[in-house]
Amino acid sequence: MFSKPRVTKADRKGTFKCPDCLAVCRVTQNKYITATYKESYASCTNDHCGGRYVFASEPVRVLVPSQTPNLKLHIPLAAGVRPLSFDDGQLDLDLTQSQKGT
């Protein structure tokens, strides 16, 4: 019989796991090194561990392209994601149609 792995506090969004004892690490400071690369200083909440770490985070793949892209960034698209073009979505609104009816 299949059983789900237990979700711990350290698995919640926005937290880090202690790499040594796997307890939750409390972030004490965030520092942006560049516009997209952040380092987080964190301390393990397990009193018996006492580990302190610097974690790194940055975007690695685009899942949904931004409607307001920063053209200076070059973040690779995830597999199966196509780049946004002017033929997509909202830019095709015909505003003259709504004005004719009122």
Of the candidates 71, 68, 54, 61, the residue with the CA atom closest to the CA atom of residue 18: 54
Query: Residue 23 or 42: which CB sits closer to Zn ion?
Result: 23
Q: How far is the CB of 46 from Zn ion (least distance, A)?
A: 4
Query: Residue 51 or 65: which CB sits closer to Zn ion?
Result: 51
Binding site for Zn ion (CB under 5 A): 18, 20-21, 23, 44, 46, 49, 51
Tell me the two tokens of residue 57: 């985070």
d(CA 27, CA 52): 10
Query: Residue 18 or 42: which CB sits closer to Zn ion?
Result: 18
